[in-house]
Amino acid sequence: MDVQKKYNLTDEDVDRIIGMAWEDRTTFDAIEAQFGVPEKDVIELMRREMKPSSWRMWRARVQGRATKHLAKRSFSEGRHKCSRQRAISSNKISKR
Residue 53 CA: distances (Å) to CA of 23, 45, 49, 82: 18, 15, 12, 30
pTM of the model: 0.68
Query: Which tens digits make up the pLDDT trace of 24-83?
Result: 888 888 899 999 999 999 999 999 999 999 999 999 888 877 666 666 555 555 555 555
Q: pLDDT band at 90, cuts 50/70/90?
A: very low
Structural domain includes residue 38: yes
Whether 57 is in a domain gets the answer yes
Domain that holds residue 48: 3-72
Residue 13 forms part of a structural domain = yes
Higher pLDDT, 25 or 3: 3
The total number of structural domains in the chain stands at 1
